[in-house]
Amino acid sequence: MLNFFSKIIQKQFDPVDNSPLVLFRMIFGFLIFAETFGAILTGWVRQVLIEPEFTFTLIGLEWLQPLPGSGMYVYFAFMVICGLCVMVGYKYRLSLSLFTILWTLVYWMQKSYYNNHYYLLILLCLFMLCVPAHAYASFDAKRWSSVVSMTCPRWCINIFIIQLWIVFTFAALNKIYPGWIEGHFIQVALSSKKQYWLIGDILQKQWLQNLVIYGGIGFDLLIVYFLLWKKTRVLAFIASIIFHLFNAVVFQIGIFPFMMIGMTVLFFKPETIRKTFFPKKTLIGLSNNEQTKLKAGRLALAVVFAAYFGFQIYLPLRHHLYKGDVFWTEEGHRLAWRMMLRVKYGSLDFEVKHPETGENWRVDPLDFFTSKQVAAAASKPDMIWQMAKWMKKHYSKQGIEDVEIYANTSVSLNGSTRHPIIDPDTDLTKVKWQPFKHSKWILSPK
């Protein structure tokens, strides 16, 4: 058995044509450029990072707030330039390192617009930093001969395929629950698309919604296997284009559909990509690595990736360790590829009590936060807890010390009956956030 795994690991260091990796670098660079430039043009930067007085950061990083004034426009403009540099392979590792840091900080400094795709982009950036995607058809390759290479180790491509398998597999498994299978989510989600030109009425048809329900599970569960199999690869590629373009038009989820289409180039034979996109590229005959002993450095790298992918499998499963329904509690929801699964609407207000004076008053969160922030937080216990903590500091600055803050919540999941998600008798200023176990003050229907 040990010898079997040794051979598999050793095979990952065999040289292969790097054409798919080089092409994906160009696609990846263009898409991160488009994502950041689009964030400026569409008003996302202004709405999410400039207008709010307070942003919901990753818990524990409350100090990480957006730059003042118009600073975030400059911040994103810098990422735009980094994206272009990655695309053309100019100072590739420096540009991508800077983009990765800046994008990760943006991801950490706000979660009102949390998206699994933003998290995936961080992971892909880290992968792209590990691989020599600038070894051909890049400014770096023209400037420095030491960078030039026509091949890369096989693992440089396989790590992307494994990550994609994890994303789609858990996306499929997470859909196997009543809210998806019975069509509650799809019905609610598509009912808001009635006004769409040309396709609005079609989206309301039961046959199409059934196609989305069962086709979504089938696509997510099987697409990676069909892309890997030569006989079905072309059809799977066409299906990917149709599936992701449908999502892009109907659900408007940024660059993610296009990134998924772009990643399909990593499944095609390198010679096919080379002949199609790099016809002038010459490739010296490849020879397999015949070494029988696995070098310590290679083994260490294999252990690192094994640990990483093991953790990636744990994250989508961790919600089973917590008491309560993750759809209501949100504990274990993030970083778990729980994509397009539910529509949650909630109402929220706070009761503030001042023990010393005996006063108490109701607070509308809109008095302190933007409507977008309130809409996002109303169904998410961690953000409600952060609201209470911020409000306590606000009152403290006004000389009103040691207030107690209670949340009154009412949340509907996929159009269901409304339920509270926070214990109304819990003073949120007195409880600590528990990231690794269930918080008793977070409720879910019995």
**Mean of all residue pLDDT scores within the chain:** 94
Q: Report residue 212's pLDDT band, with 50, 70 and 90 as the boundaries.
A: very high
Instruction: Please give the backbone phi and psi of residue 118, each rounded to the nearest 5 degrees, phi first.
Output: -65, -40
CB under 8 Å to 30, separation ≥6 — which residues? 83, 87
Q: How confident is the model at residue 112 (pLDDT cuts 50, 70, 90)?
A: confident
- Please state which of the ranges 4-13, 296-305, 361-370, 399-408 shows the lowest mean pLDDT: 4-13
Beta bridge partners of 359: 354
The pLDDT of residue 287 is above 90: no
Residues 258, 254: Cα–Cα separation, whole Å: 8
Q: Is the pLDDT of residue 290 over 60?
A: no
Burial of 291 (0-12, 13-18, 19+ CB in 10 A): exposed
**Contacts of range 135-138, beta carbons closer than 8 Å, 24 or more positions apart:** 135/18, 135/22, 136/18, 136/19, 136/22, 136/278, 136/281, 137/22, 137/26, 137/89, 137/278, 137/281, 138/22, 138/25, 138/88, 138/89, 138/90, 138/92
- Of 362, 336, 335, the C-alpha closest to 349 is 362
| Structural contact between residues 406 and 424, judged by C-beta atoms closer than 8 angstroms | yes
Which two three-digit tokens encode residue 361? 């008053």
Report pLDDT for 446.
Answer: 77
- Predicted TM-score (pTM) of the model is 0.95
Instruction: State the pLDDT at residue 325.
Output: 95
Where are any strands of DSSP class E within 239-393? 344-354, 359-363
Q: Residues with Cβ < 8 Å from 306, sequence gap 6 or more?
A: none
Q: Which amino acid is at 32?
A: I
CA dist., res. 310 & res. 375, Å (int): 34
For residues 360 and 261, give the distance between their C-alpha atoms in angstroms, rounded to a whole number: 55
The DSSP code sequence of 279-323 is TT---PPP------SPPHHHHHHHHHHHHHHHHHHHHHHGGGGSS
HSE (side-chain half, CA atoms, 13 Å) at 42: 10
- More confidently predicted of 8 and 127: 127
Question: pLDDT grade, residue 288 (50/70/90)?
Answer: low
Find, among 336, 317, 338, 424, the residue nearest to 381 by Cα.
424
| Cα first-last separation, the chain | 47
263 residue type, one letter: M
Is the pLDDT at 192 greater than 80? The verdict is yes
Contact 113, 376 (CB under 8 A): yes
Is the predicted pLDDT of residue 158 greater than 80, yes or no? Answer: yes
* Residue 190 pLDDT: 96
- Say what the pLDDT of residue 285 is: 59
User: Is it the case that residue 426 has pLDDT exceeding 80?
Assistant: yes
